Structure 1
Amino acid sequence: MELEVRHLRALCAIADTGSVHKAARQLGMTQPSLTTQLRRIEQAVGGQLFTRERTGSRPTPLGRFLLCRARPLVAEMSALVSETRAAAGRSGGESLRIGSTGSPAVPGWLRRLRSRLPEADTTFHMDVRAHELLRMVASHQLDAVFVHEVEGTPLHVPDGVDLHVLVEREPQFVAISATHPAAERPVLSLQELARERWMVDPTADGEWTGLRRVFADAGISPRVVHGDNMAAADLVAAGEVVAPCQPTSPARPGWVVRPLLGDPLAVRLLLATPEPRPGTKPVIEPETLLGDLESAYREVAWASEPYRHWLLRHDDAASLPFSVVA
């Protein structure tokens, strides 16, 4: 087996995230596939590259040696791809590179952008780490990203990035099993969920810190399970955990979404674009990107019954990008 750039990229992802599971998510692979790939790489180089510990995966001395050589190669290849795409854009073809931490509004946003620029090569990059997406905007690897900033845990915005506010304060709801005794109530309090197991994704920037702050303010200390959103969906439906969720979250079999009393948990929704550079013109202006995102967000907001009811009860929600009307 000969090592390829994709193998080096996988090794760097494992080292950077400290976990094969997290690296697989970042690379868009399944964990078993990445584990198999790592095993083959280790067989090819003739030694173990990572130690598997309870706290994650750590490079061995051999792994550190290989990573020192791999990182410059991966960086050079990424730069080569980015510069080649930019050159292709300058030669006549347009490209639009979009990223997001994830939202039900994203499909509608991409649909509007593709309709607006039917000839452009529009690509999408998903990452729960808002800081990584902002870094990619600053380095001109992405043209725009839609991210969220957890209240009380501000994002660190790198130089060269402009922020545009979509929603100043979006309340976060909670997903619980449809069989939960509280599922019939329209609004839930943190106190009545204090004995539940809560699931949170610790790799999503600010989410665990923000949730911990809300628990402390409420004077509760529930049990917490760490996991990703895909795992949460099945566990919530099974009644094993409850989980914070976006108010625009679509209905899923076996669970319901409810607002929290007093809206203690909230995020700010942001569009980030590169600062304009002299002599260059973006494929699409930030104002147009934001307008299409507002339209897509409005669509999913009104499609969500719990959020629609919340909006109608909060007709003074001036921070929303649309009028609240019946």
Structure 2
Amino acid sequence: MELEVRHLRALCAIADTGSLHKAARRLGVSQPSLTTQLRRIENSLGAELFWRERSGCRPTPVGRALLTRARPLVAEMTALVVEAKAAAAGSGGSRLRIGSTASRALPGWLGRLRRRLPGADISLHMDVSANALLRMVAAGQRDVVFVHEVEGSPLRVPEGLAVRVLIEREPQFVSLARGHPAATAPVVELADLAGDRWIVDPTVDGEWDGLRRVLAAAGLNPSVLHGDYHTAAALVAAGEAVAPCQPTSRPREDMAVRPLRGDPLAVRLLLCSPPGTEEVHQEVYEDLAAAYREVASEAAAYRQWLLRHKSPLLTGAAA
């Protein structure tokens, strides 16, 4: 068996996420398929590349040596493919490669950029991992990325990247079934959710650690499910769980979105780009800020929170 780029990409994903489950999600394959692929690679090389532990996967000395050579190869190949596609498109115009974690501000941001840069080749790459997006910028694979950093879980920002703070502290709300007793109040007490099961996506950098700290500080030790937020929404609506959510999330007929008392869980919103590009991407930042203000004002619970805290966000100034 000869190692191919897809094999190297799989090894890098396992090392970056520290988990076969998380790596499989990032690569868009099933965990059994990735496990089988890893076993074949190790059998072909005659060496174990990762130690499988209860806490996840950790590279062996042989694995670390292989990853040292694999990472630049994967980065170069990714950049080559992107450049080849751009050349094949023959756009000849400007290009803006955006990366982002999930945000309701994305559609408005992209729309503003397309109006500001007519004819430009604007592409979007989304990832649940903010750290993965930051590595893409550092490797020259993205021009700018919009990420969130969970309070208490700093991102691993590559040295030299230009970092602009969009929102210094965005409170995270909670989504719960419309019929949940706590949903009748405008602000939810964590203690009122003591008997609930929580669901969180562990592939989102820092999210599980942040929630675990907040729950422990409140003296709570609830049952926790790990799953993606599409599944979470269905379980929340059915009353089977509650989940942290972005304050810009819109409620549904079967689901309420409420702030938590004291705002114990928060994130910082960042726009990151290569060194020295702050002025180059000033308009990109301004369009993102405008798009974020728009969705913030449209989300009723968040708008009320902003009004109570006399936030400058509603007057057109970024926080």
Question: Which TM-score band applies after superposition, normalised by the shorter structure?
Answer: 0.7 to 0.9
Distance in 2 between residues matched to 1:70 and 1:158, nearest whole Å: 18
Q: 2:221 maps to which residue?
A: 221
Could you report, residue by residue, the CA deviation over 1:211-232 in whole angstroms, capped at 9, with x for unpaired residues?
Answer: 2222233232222222222221
Distance in 2 between residues matched to 1:61 and 1:153, nearest whole Å: 27
Query: 1:46 offset after TM fit, Å?
Result: 7.9
Q: 1:109 maps to which residue?
A: 109
Q: 1:131 maps to which residue?
A: 131
Query: 1:12 offset after TM fit, Å?
Result: 4.0
1:146 is aligned to 2:146 = yes
Corresponding residue SS for 1:148:
strand
Query: 1:202 offset after TM fit, Å?
Result: 2.2
Conservation of the 8 A alpha-carbon contact between 1:250 and 1:304: yes
Structure 1 residues 235 and 164, CA, compared in 2 at 3 Å: closer, same or farther? same
Distance in 2 between residues matched to 1:274 and 1:60, nearest whole Å: 32
Distance in 1 between residues matched to 2:264 and 2:5, nearest whole Å: 45
Query: 1:260 offset after TM fit, Å?
Result: 0.8
Aligned residues: 314
Q: 1:317 maps to which residue?
A: 311
Distance in 1 between residues matched to 2:225 and 2:130, nearest whole Å: 21
Distance in 1 between residues matched to 2:33 and 2:133, nearest whole Å: 28
Conservation of the 8 A alpha-carbon contact between 2:176 and 2:257: yes
Q: What is the alpha-carbon root mean square deviation over aligned residues?
A: 3.7
Could you report, residue by residue, the CA deviation over 1:138-184 in whole angstroms, capped at 9, with x for unpaired residues?
Answer: 23221111111222333332212111111121111000112212222
Structure 1 residues 313 and 323, CA, compared in 2 at 3 Å: closer, same or farther? farther
- 1:169 alignment partner AA: R
Distance in 1 between residues matched to 2:267 and 2:308, nearest whole Å: 19
Could you report, residue by residue, the CA deviation over 1:261-308 in whole angstroms, capped at 9, with x for unpaired residues?
Answer: 12121111111121127xxxx9x8221111100111111111111112
Q: 1:23 maps to which residue?
A: 23
Conservation of the 8 A alpha-carbon contact between 1:105 and 1:296: yes
Conservation of the 8 A alpha-carbon contact between 1:188 and 1:259: yes
Q: 2:207 maps to which residue?
A: 207
Conservation of the 8 A alpha-carbon contact between 2:194 and 2:220: yes
Q: Which runs of 5+ in 2 are unaligned?
A: none
Structure 1 residues 199 and 119, CA, compared in 2 at 3 Å: closer, same or farther? same
Q: 2:298 maps to which residue?
A: 303
Structure 1 residues 145 and 69, CA, compared in 2 at 3 Å: closer, same or farther? closer
Could you report, residue by residue, the CA deviation over 1:108-167 in whole angstroms, capped at 9, with x for unpaired residues?
Answer: 111111222222221111122222222222232211111112223333322121111111
Distance in 1 between residues matched to 2:243 and 2:201, nearest whole Å: 10
TM-score computed with the length of structure 1 as normaliser: 0.79
Distance in 1 between residues matched to 2:187 and 2:287, nearest whole Å: 31
Distance in 1 between residues matched to 2:272 and 2:91, nearest whole Å: 26
Conservation of the 8 A alpha-carbon contact between 2:297 and 2:314: no
Structure 1 residues 198 and 40, CA, compared in 2 at 3 Å: closer, same or farther? closer
Q: 1:270 maps to which residue?
A: 270
Distance in 2 between residues matched to 1:44 and 1:139, nearest whole Å: 26
Conservation of the 8 A alpha-carbon contact between 1:88 and 1:94: no
Structure 1 residues 46 and 219, CA, compared in 2 at 3 Å: closer, same or farther? closer
1:122 is aligned to 2:122 = yes
Q: 2:285 maps to which residue?
A: 290
Q: 2:183 maps to which residue?
A: 183
Structure 1 residues 276 and 57, CA, compared in 2 at 3 Å: closer, same or farther? closer
Corresponding residue SS for 1:183:
helix
Structure 1 residues 43 and 158, CA, compared in 2 at 3 Å: closer, same or farther? closer
Query: 1:44 offset after TM fit, Å?
Result: 10
Structure 1 residues 43 and 172, CA, compared in 2 at 3 Å: closer, same or farther? closer
Distance in 1 between residues matched to 2:135 and 2:41, nearest whole Å: 33
Query: 1:103 offset after TM fit, Å?
Result: 0.7
Could you report, residue by residue, the CA deviation over 1:23-64 in whole angstroms, capped at 9, with x for unpaired residues?
Answer: 23313x253xx7458758978998799999876678999999
Structure 1 residues 299 and 19, CA, compared in 2 at 3 Å: closer, same or farther? same
Could you report, residue by residue, the CA deviation over 1:220-247 in whole angstroms, capped at 9, with x for unpaired residues?
Answer: 2222222222221122112121111100
Distance in 2 between residues matched to 1:38 and 1:220, nearest whole Å: 35
Q: 2:244 maps to which residue?
A: 244
Q: 1:156 maps to which residue?
A: 156
Distance in 2 between residues matched to 1:45 and 1:211, nearest whole Å: 36
**Counterparts in 2 of 1:34-73, with a 5 A limit?**
35-36=32-33, 73=73
Q: Which runs of 5+ in 1 are unaligned?
A: none
Conservation of the 8 A alpha-carbon contact between 2:97 and 2:144: yes
Corresponding residue SS for 2:236:
helix
Query: 1:322 offset after TM fit, Å?
Result: 3.8
Moved over 4 A (4+): 1-4, 34-73, 82-91
Query: 1:4 offset after TM fit, Å?
Result: 5.3
- 2:282 alignment partner AA: E
Identity of aligned residues (%): 61
